[in-house]
């Protein structure tokens, strides 16, 4: 994160010092691995965050990250029996699905963020926030090592240690360049609010530069060639936003250069929006297509279905920094058989099988998927805000009912051990997805194979995104930004 910021500082300075660099605007919409490494360490010489007397009797939950997963966890946590410490270098929650709208001034950056302190102030629980990033976790001694995000503080001590009983890791993913040469030096990323603001300034700078009288048409064309890397929903949405910005606002403000603009979307796969229904892909492919780039997998923490990090005690991971390793039924088949075979006859009767079938379905969702008509969504959930938010609220619910479920476990039978699991495993419910395509048209794919493309889906998109805002403040700001845009158009000043 810090490295990213320094890179941007350096990069934007380079842009200003060297105008010829502003030829291409490349937007990387790919994600990368988590940043925290597990290790053992001593806390000597570092400040340790102690609990107050009242809190010292409580179990301490440390939450890393204030994105979709962390914020959803905090918003849903109701159990006052915990002393909660939140650590994140970003003191606000950002509504990332609207970042493409920030890049062209459709929505203001401040309208899509909510301060963390405002979110936690509303809770009746004991929650403390530290603006810092965690750089090391000592899982054995249950300590996290943190560094303040401020450049310096008065005593020059920027590092401190926080003990935990439970650790919730929700640090998201890092932008991954996939080691593509030149990406760091020549591209913009679209991951954080600052990225969206920088893209907005650069786009407008490009139009101002292209309008200067000293340039040839060839140079103007080069400056106004925008290349977007990644044909997923974010890349397509940014391309659509840029297209609308140019066709609705820029044409009136920069009439002399409007015909020189070219927007190209690069995608490694055969189709853009390939996670959507084929009808949506076909419709969206009216956007120009270019040559491919290489893509590889992201690096993440592996968890079980209860979001517990494998091999670590009391550590949970949610959101983009984690992936659930679903157990396969064949790995446990012998254990399942012996658990079901109550009379040790060596064969299973229908009755014996019926008695364990619900537990098998709960524990191994693939079984459920193949046996039920239409199947159920879950198994390998993708890195989206929807997954992160559901995981946050699931884990908060587990923490809320920790004691209750200790006494009366509600999870499936333990096939390899005794008794039942405390909680039901996490199940992702897919509520559908949107891909704004520009020109007030959106593609919507909702559960039940319901696909809609057009203006009516755009209104559905407006209402869903307004309703999903984290607070009434941001809801009002976003709706008023949309209204301002309808009436006055987008603001093209480069501030
Ligand atoms: C432009 C864009 C558009 C998107 N649109 C959609 C969409 O329409 N629908 C959808 O479902 N998903 C969308 N996504 C994906 C969605 O934003 C992510 O899946 C979601 O943000 C993941 O949530 P998270 O909590 O895991 O991570 P994040 O939201 O990235 O939050 C990570 C948090 O961890 C903090 N952090 C990072 N490092 C550390 C550290 N070392 N110590 C402590 N804290 C740390 C960060 O400051 C941040 O607060 C979009 C993403 C982008 C970038």
**Angle, to 10 degrees, between the axis of helix 350-363 and the axis of helix 333-340?**
140
Picking from 481, 410, 384, the residue whose alpha carbon sits closest to that of residue 72 is: 384
Asked whether residue 17 is assigned to any structural domain, the reply reads yes
Helix (H, G, I), strand (E, B) or coil at 218: helix
Considering the domain boundaries, does residue 469 fall inside one? yes
Note the pLDDT of residue 40: 40
Integer Cα distance of 442 and 432 in angstroms: 13
The boundaries of the domain holding residue 448 are 2-32+175-296+431-488
The verdict on residue 142 lying in a domain is no
Distance 440 CA to ligand 1 centre (A): 26
Say if residues 22 and 223 touch (Cβ distance below 8 Å): yes
Spell 142-177 as b/e; 16+ CB within 10 A means b: bbbbbebbeeeeeeeebebbbbbebbbbbbbbbbbe
Spacing of C-alpha 356 from chain mean position: 36
Compute the distance between CA of residue 243 and CA of residue 59 in angstroms, rounded to an integer.
52
Considering the entire predicted model, what is its pTM? Answer: 0.83
Residue 419 lies in a domain: no
Distance between CA 168 and CA 314 in Å, rounded?
Answer: 9
H helix or E strand, kind and range, residue 303? strand 301-303
Virtual torsion, Cα 48, 54, 59, 65, nearest 10 deg? -60
Q: Ligand 1 center to residue 231 CA distance, Å?
A: 19
**Tokens at 469, concatenated:** 């805002």
In a domain, 202, yes or no: yes
CA distance 173 to 193: 15
| The pLDDT of residue 130 | 94
- Which atom of ligand 1 sits closest to the CA of residue 318? 26
Place of tokens 């925290």: 36
Neighbours of 252 (CB within 10 A): 10
Block residue for tokens 């976790």: 137
Which residues on neighbouring strands pair with residue 435, listed in sequence order?
443
Kindly give the residue spans of alpha helices, DSSP state H, lying in 341-494: 350-363, 365-371, 385-400, 402-407, 455-467, 472-488
CA separation for the pair 59, 36 (Å, rounded): 23
Query: Which tokens sit at 175?
Result: 């932008």
Q: How far apart are CA 409 and CA 414, in angstroms?
A: 11
The rounded distance, in Å, linking the Cα atoms of 108 and 102 is 6
The number of residues in the chain equals 495
Q: Which residue is closest in CA terms to ligand 1's atom 15?
A: 384
Which pairing describes strands 262-266 and 225-229: parallel, antiparallel, or unpaired?
parallel
DSSP state of 44: T
Give the distance from CA 468 to its chain's centroid: 15
Separation CA 491–CA 489 (nearest Å): 7
Residue 159 inside a domain? The answer is no
Contact 113 CB / ligand 1 (< 6 Å): no
Pick from 4, 67, 316 the residue to mutate for probing ligand 1's pocket: most ligand atoms within 8 Å of its CB.
Answer: 67
- CA–CA–CA angle 201, 385, 285 (5° rounding): 65
Q: What is the 191 CA–ligand 1 centroid distance (Å)?
A: 8
pLDDT tens for the chain, residues 1 to 495: 334 444 344 434 443 444 443 333 444 444 434 444 444 444 556 677 766 666 677 899 999 999 999 999 999 999 999 999 999 999 999 999 999 999 999 999 999 999 999 999 877 788 999 999 999 999 999 999 999 877 655 666 688 999 999 999 999 998 888 888 888 889 999 999 999 999 999 999 999 999 999 999 999 999 999 999 888 888 889 999 998 998 899 889 999 988 899 988 888 777 888 777 777 787 777 544 433 323 233 468 899 999 999 888 899 999 999 988 877 777 778 778 877 777 777 777 877 777 788 888 877 776 654 444 444 444 446 789 999 999 999 999 999 999 999 999 998 888 888 888 999 999 999 898 898 888 888 999 888 878 888 899 999 999 999 999 999 999 999 999 999 999 999 988 877
Side-chain-side CA neighbours of 396 within 13 Å: the count stands at 22
- In a domain? residue 262: yes
Q: Please give the backbone phi and psi of residue 132, each rounded to the nearest 5 degrees, phi first.
A: -160, 165
C-beta of 451 in contact with ligand 1 (< 6 A): no
CA atoms of 278 and 239, how far apart (whole Å): 19
Q: Is 389 in the pocket of ligand 1 (CB under 6 A)?
A: no
pLDDT at 286: 59
Which one of 119, 383, 384 would you pick to mutate in the ligand 1 pocket, going by the greatest count of ligand atoms within 8 A of its CB?
Answer: 384
Number of domains in the chain: 1
Cα 402 from Cα 390, distance rounded (Å): 18
Q: Confirm whether 334 is domain-assigned.
A: no
Q: How far is the CA of 144 from the centre of ligand 1 (A)?
A: 21
């Amino acid at each position: 994160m810090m490295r990213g910021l320094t890179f941007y500082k350096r990069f934007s300075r380079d842009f200003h010092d060297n105008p010829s660099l502003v030829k291409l605007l490349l937007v990387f919409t790919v994600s990368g691995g988590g940043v925290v490494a597990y290790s053992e360490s001593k806390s000597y010489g570092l400040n340790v965050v102690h609990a107050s007397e009242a809190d010292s009797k409580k179990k301490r939950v440390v939450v890393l990250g204030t994105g979709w997963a962390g914020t959803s966890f905090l918003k849903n946590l109701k159990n006052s029996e915990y002393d909660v410490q939140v650590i994140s270098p970003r003191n606000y929650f950002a509504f990332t699905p609207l970042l493409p709208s920030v890049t062209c001034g459709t929505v203001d950056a401040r309208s899509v963020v909510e301060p963390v302190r405002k979110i936690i102030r509303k809770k009746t629980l004991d929650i403390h926030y530290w603006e810092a990033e965690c750089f090391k976790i000592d899982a054995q001694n249950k300590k996290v090592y943190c560094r303040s995000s401020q450049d310096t503080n008065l005593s020059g001590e920027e590092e401190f240690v926080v003990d935990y009983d439970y650790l919730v890791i929700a640090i998201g993913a890092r932008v991954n360049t996939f080691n593509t040469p030149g990406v760091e030096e020549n591209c913009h990323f679209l991951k954080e609010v600052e990225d969206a603001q920088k893209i907005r300034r650069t786009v407008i700078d490009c139009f101002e530069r292209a309008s200067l009288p000293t340039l040839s048409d060839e140079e103007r064309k080069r400056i106004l060639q925008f290349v977007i890397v990644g044909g997923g929903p974010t890349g397509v949405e940014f391309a659509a936003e840029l297209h609308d910005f140019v066709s609705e606002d820029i044409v009136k403000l920069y009439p002399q250069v409007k015909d020189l603009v070219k927007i190209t979307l690069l995608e490694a796969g055969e189709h853009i929006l390939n996670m959507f229904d084929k009808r949506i892909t076909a419709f969206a492919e009216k956007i120009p297509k270019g040559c491919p780039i290489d893509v590889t997998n992201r690096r993440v923490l592996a968890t079980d279905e209860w979001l517990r990090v494998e091999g670590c005690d009391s550590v949970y991971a949610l959101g983009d920094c984690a992936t659930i390793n679903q157990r396969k039924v064949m790995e446990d088949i012998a254990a399942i058989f012996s658990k079901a075979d109550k009379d040790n006859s060596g064969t299973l009767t229908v009755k014996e099988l019926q008695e364990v079938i619900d537990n098998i379905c709960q524990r191994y969702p693939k079984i459920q998927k193949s046996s039920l008509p239409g199947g159920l969504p879950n198994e390998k959930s993708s890195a989206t805000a929807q997954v992160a938010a559901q995981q946050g609220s699931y884990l908060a619910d587990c923490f809320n009912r920790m004691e209750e479920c200790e006494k009366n476990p509600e999870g499936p039978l333990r096939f390899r051990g005794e008794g039942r699991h405390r909680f039901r495993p996490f199940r992702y419910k897919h509520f559908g997805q949107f891909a704004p395509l520009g020109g007030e048209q959106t593609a919507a794919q909702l559960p039940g194979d319901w696909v809609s493309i057009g203006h009516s889906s755009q209104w559905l998109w407006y209402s869903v995104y307004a309703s999903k805002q984290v607070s009434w403040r941001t809801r009002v700001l976003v709706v008023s930004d949309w209204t301002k845009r309808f009436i006055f158009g987008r603001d093209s000043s480069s501030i």
